[in-house]
Amino acid sequence: MAAYDLHIHSGYSSDGELPVAAIVGLCAARGLDAFSLTDHNSVRGVGEAARLARERGIGFVPGIEIDRKIITMHDIKKVDRKSVV
């Protein structure tokens, strides 16, 4: 059975700690077949992760975790309907 981790945050994320190279090293050491780097609102580490994963023979899925504001009915009522296409 294949092993994947599709939700990993690096130091580029507000709640991540490890540099991208360390993450790829851990994924290789743990025998993962593929992983995804999903930092909050950032893809700054995706290029490095893709390159290092390719060098180690690990599959890589580029990702991002986008934070969003919760929209309330109050917010909807403030929208100028003429400006919405």
Tell me the whole-structure pTM to 2 decimals: 0.79
Q: How far is CA 58 from the centre of its chain?
A: 16
Handedness of CA 22, 27, 29, 34 (dihedral sign): negative
- Token digits for 70? 């919760």
pLDDT tens-place string over residues 21-79: 999 999 999 999 999 999 999 999 999 999 999 999 999 999 999 887 766 666 555 55
The tokens of 3 are what?
């092993």
Neighbours of 69 (CB within 10 A): 6
Q: Which of 14, 69, 7, 8 is nearest to 41 (CA)?
A: 14
